[in-house]
């Protein structure tokens, strides 16, 4: 029987996870630069709108479908590493699964291509092709991250994360320097940028694994179904507002839709900071839970929630006071205090929801997490459809209520798991720490 001490020793979550936080922070900062450079390079918000749509569609689909593979690959490799067993058979099995899932998503996108072209990308086949290529590129990216996490190579994990954002900006700058106005070129930049980080860590031999005993599907897929449902819904919820607005707004409102995207990115500043900080703090909470110190785990988690809430509310206040000024300075655009405040408050609710969801996963509540994110998406859809006549107000209200519904669901689920005396194991703790659905 696994003792509490050996359980704690099995968790490959050292201070190196700080590299993950740095990578997330770099990626978040690069988002601002990409939107700014891209808009200037293409000359107008209307011209940049297809790229904005591609951006949010990519980060709704890619993490949603491939983050669970990353989590399960990392978890299985970490378990084998703790036992002194080689993980190459695990990697091969997850590669097969990743190829099948990629094919499934690509076939779905091809089937929806005519609709995507006319209704979402305003007639641009280049953007449809870029979205398909982005899915193909992000599949190996997430698998590379899973290998890095499972083998304890968190520095390389951070390189894959950070290089993605940096390369998008560099590609955009090169295109702008040569006065390229073809929107498809910028779409390809979004799609292919993540492969650079994978090639870098691959060249450094950070993706190598040792031969080992054969594996079974049971070893790599025990929680895959619930993780997949939860991940898809979480990624959809955080990107739901710009996606919905792209569909609801008519062509004459393309500039406004792009400006709304600026607001979404700005409102995510606390969320990017939260994930960066959390990547460094969660290992400590995980070790407390692994040692059975549940009282300290609760206290630490409550402190984390308090910090998140305070930082989030401060960010919401800042969005109301200086948000419009920042949008003007950064993007030469106009957004109202109301829009920025609602988006920032929605990000606060999402942050608390994300923290609570990770705690529920750690306590082996994978199905409850999938349910909670699904509730959030369902509330967003209902409120957006029936929330009034004005599209922007409906989307803003849907974002706020959807994130709030997910947050409440997870807090209830967490309370239920703690009251039931649920305890974590090494696998669930690993999946919780590597649950990072917000990228861009």
CA distance 52 to 378: 24
Q: Residue 228 is encoded by which pair of tokens?
A: 């997949």
pLDDT tens column, 264-281: 888 887 777 776 666 555
Most confident of 77-86, 138-147, 260-269, 288-297: 138-147
pLDDT band per the 50, 70, 90 thresholds, residue 2: very low
CA distance 239 to 424: 30
CA distance 261 to 133: 22
pTM of the model: 0.89
pLDDT tens column, 216-241: 888 888 889 999 999 999 999 999 99
Q: Residue 362 is encoded by which pair of tokens?
A: 């750690």
Count the Cβ atoms, other than its own, within 10 Å of residue 213: 13
Cα distances (angstroms) measured from residue 318 to each of 63, 67, 88, 343, 408: 29, 32, 49, 12, 25
Average pLDDT over residues 35-58: 90
- What is the reported pLDDT for 9? 45
Q: Residue 41 is encoded by which pair of tokens?
A: 């390079």
Task: Please state, for a pLDDT cut of 90, what percent of the chain lies above it.
Answer: 49
Contacts of 331 (CB under 8 A, 6+ apart): 35, 36, 39, 259, 262
Say if residue 89's pLDDT is above 70: yes
- What is the reported pLDDT for 281? 59
Say if residue 403's pLDDT is above 90: yes
Closest CA to 45 of 278, 340, 253, 291: 253
Task: Please state, for a pLDDT cut of 70, what percent of the chain lies above it.
Answer: 90
Q: Residue 217 is encoded by which pair of tokens?
A: 């599907």
CA distance 12 to 287: 10
Report which DSSP code applies to 119.
I
CA distance 194 to 378: 31
Q: What is the mean pLDDT of the chain?
A: 86
Of 302 and 55, which is predicted with more confidence?
55
Handedness of CA 415, 419, 423, 427 (dihedral sign): negative
Average pLDDT over residues 134-147: 95
DSSP-assigned letters across all residues of 91-105 = HHHHHHHHHHHHHHH
Most confident of 229-243, 291-305, 329-343, 380-394: 229-243
State the DSSP H helix or E strand holding residue 153, giving kind and residue range, or none if neither: none
Average pLDDT over residues 81-94: 92
Q: Residue 301 is encoded by which pair of tokens?
A: 């988690």
pLDDT tens column, 7-31: 444 444 444 566 777 787 788 888 8
Q: Domain residue spans in the chain?
A: 4-433
At residue 214, φ and ψ (nearest 5 deg) are -60, 155
> Which value, to the nearest 10 degrees, does the dihedral of the CA atoms of residues 212, 213, 214, 219 take?
-90
Number of alpha carbons in the 13 Å side-chain half-sphere of residue 131: 29
């Amino acid at each position: 029987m696994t003792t509490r001490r050996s359980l704690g020793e099995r968790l490959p979550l050292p201070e190196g996870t700080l590299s993950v936080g740095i990578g997330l922070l770099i990626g978040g900062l690069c988002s601002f630069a990409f939107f700014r450079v891209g808009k200037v390079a293409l000359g107008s918000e209307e011209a940049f709108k297809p790229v904005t749509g591609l951006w949010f569609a990519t980060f709704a689909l890619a993490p949603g479908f491939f983050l669970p593979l990353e989590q399960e690959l990392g978890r299985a490799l970490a378990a084998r590493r703790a036992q002194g067993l080689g993980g190459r058979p695990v990697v091969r099995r997850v590669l097969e699964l990743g190829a099948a899932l990629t094919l499934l998503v690509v076939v779905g996108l091809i089937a929806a291509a005519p609709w995507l072209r006319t209704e979402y990308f305003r007639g641009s086949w280049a953007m449809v092709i870029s979205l398909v290529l982005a899915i193909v590129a992000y599949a190996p990216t997430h698998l590379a991250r899973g290998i890095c996490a499972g083998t304890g190579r968190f520095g390389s994990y951070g390189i894959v994360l950070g290089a993605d954002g940096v390369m998008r900006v560099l590609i955009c700058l090169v295109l702008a320097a040569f006065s390229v106005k073809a929107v498809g070129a910028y779409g390809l930049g979004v799609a292919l940028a993540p492969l650079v980080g994978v090639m870098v860590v691959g060249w450094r031999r950070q993706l190598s694994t040792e031969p080992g005993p054969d594996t079974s599907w049971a070893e790599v897929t025990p929680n895959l179904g619930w993780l997949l449902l939860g991940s898809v819904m979480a990624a959809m919820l955080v990107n739901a507002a710009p996606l919905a607005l792209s569909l609801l707004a008519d062509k004459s409102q393309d500039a406004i839709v792009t400006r709304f995207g600026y607001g979404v990115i700005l409102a995510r500043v606390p969320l990017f900071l939260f994930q960066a900080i959390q990547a460094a703090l969660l290992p400590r909470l995980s070790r407390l839970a692994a040692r059975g110190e549940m009282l300290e785990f609760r206290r630490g988690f409550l402190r984390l929630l308090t910090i998140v809430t305070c930082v989030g509310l401060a960010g919401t206040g800042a969005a109301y006071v200086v948000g419009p000024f920042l949008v003007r300075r950064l993007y030469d655009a106009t957004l109202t205090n109301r829009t920025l405040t609602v988006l920032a408050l929605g990000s606060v609710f999402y942050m608390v929801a994300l923290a609570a969801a990770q705690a529920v996963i750690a306590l082996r509540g994978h199905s409850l997490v999938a349910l909670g994110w699904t509730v959030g998406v369902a509330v967003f859809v209902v409120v957006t459809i029936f929330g009034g006549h004005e599209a922007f107000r409906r989307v803003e209200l849907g974002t706020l209520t959807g994130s709030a519904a997910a947050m409440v669901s997870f807090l209830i689920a967490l309370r239920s798991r703690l009251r039931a005396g649920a305890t974590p194991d090494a696998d669930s703790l690993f999946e919780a720490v590597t649950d990072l659905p917000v990228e861009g």
